Structure 1
Amino acid sequence: MVYLTRVEHFNAAHRLYNESWSDAQNLEVFGKCSNANWHGHNYELHVTIKGEPHPETGFVFNAKTLGDLIKDIIVERVDHRNLNMDVDFMKGKFTSAENFAIGIWNELQPHVAEKGAQLHCIKLYETPRIYVEYFG
């Protein structure tokens, strides 16, 4: 089994808050991330697929095709957007890095499978020191 990872970058804003809680409780749980005026991140997205190299190309998957899929399906929809308000697949969800990674997986997986590949992992860096991994 060979694993291929493509890395993309984008910027997005969000707010972590629970509408049923008071501002004080949101601040206590989410800290500055509950700021009513939002906050942003420079995200780094790692998309890993897995498989066996094709005998005619040596590729598990064409890296250019994978990059195009990520840009078309994810980056164009989230870059310089508000995750709470502008991103359809995040509407009504807490915009934590965990939920965002799951949302990215759910959006990409059918397109990757359609091209004959198997999605292995979404790794999403929210900051250089905080990231989540989702394996479906």
Structure 2
Amino acid sequence: MVYLTRIEHFNAAHRLHNPGWSDAENKDVFGKCANENWHGHNYELHVTIKGEPHPQTGFIYNAKTLGDLIKEVIVERVDHRNLNLDVDFMKGKFTSAENFAIGIWNELRPHIETGKDNVKLHCIKLVETRSIYVEYFG
């Protein structure tokens, strides 16, 4: 089994806020991330797929094609957007990095696991800051 990772970047804003809590409770749990005027991140997205090299190309999947797919399916929809307000697949969801990574997985998986290339989505790694990232393995 060979693993291939493609990395893309985008910027997005969000707010961590539980509407069932008071402002004080939100600030206590989420700190600056509960700012009513939002806050942003320079995200780094790692998409890892797995499969066996094709005998005619040596690739499990064309890395440029993977990059183009990530840009079309994810980056164009989230870059310079508000995750709480503008991103359809995050509507009604808490916009934590954890939930965002799951949302990205759910959006990419049908495009990657088509059966045509015999590859599987292995991991979404979403870097939110230099000191925080999440990984989701489906």
TM-score range, shorter chain: over 0.9
Following superposition of structure 1 onto structure 2, how do residues 53-72 of structure 1 map, counting pairs within 5 Å?
53-72=53-72
Please report how far the alpha carbon of residue 128 of structure 1 lies from its aligned counterpart in structure 2 after TM superposition.
Answer: 1.0
Runs of 4+ in structure 1 off by over 2 angstroms are: none
User: Counterparts of 2:7 and 2:130 in 1: how far apart (Å)?
Assistant: 14
Paired residue for 1:11?
11
Partner of 2:107, secondary structure, is helix
What is the letter of the counterpart of residue 111 of structure 2?
H
Partner of 1:71, secondary structure, is helix
Paired residue for 2:2?
2
User: Counterparts of 2:22 and 2:134 in 1: how far apart (Å)?
Assistant: 28
What is the letter of the counterpart of residue 11 of structure 1?
N
Whether 2:108 is the aligned partner of 1:108: answer yes
Q: Deviations over 1:16-57 (max 9, x none)?
A: 000010000000000000000000000000000000000000
Please report how far the alpha carbon of residue 84 of structure 1 lies from its aligned counterpart in structure 2 after TM superposition.
Answer: 0.1
Paired residue for 1:38?
38
What is the letter of the counterpart of residue 24 of structure 1?
A
Paired residue for 2:135?
133
Aligned residues: 136
Structure 1 residues 44-53 or 114-123, which shifts more? 114-123
Identity of aligned residues (%): 82
What is the letter of the counterpart of residue 133 of structure 2?
Y
What is the letter of the counterpart of residue 99 of structure 1?
N
User: Counterparts of 1:11 and 1:103 in 2: how far apart (Å)?
Assistant: 16
User: Counterparts of 2:61 and 2:130 in 1: how far apart (Å)?
Assistant: 28
Whether 2:14 is the aligned partner of 1:24: answer no
User: Counterparts of 1:19 and 1:87 in 2: how far apart (Å)?
Assistant: 19
Partner of 1:110, secondary structure, is helix
Runs of 5+ unmatched residues, structure 2:
none
TM-score, reference length from structure 2: 0.97
Q: Deviations over 1:76-132 (max 9, x none)?
A: 000000000000000001100000000000000000012532100000000011000
User: Counterparts of 2:131 and 2:22 in 1: how far apart (Å)?
Assistant: 29
What is the letter of the counterpart of residue 85 of structure 2?
M
TM-score, reference length from structure 1: 0.99
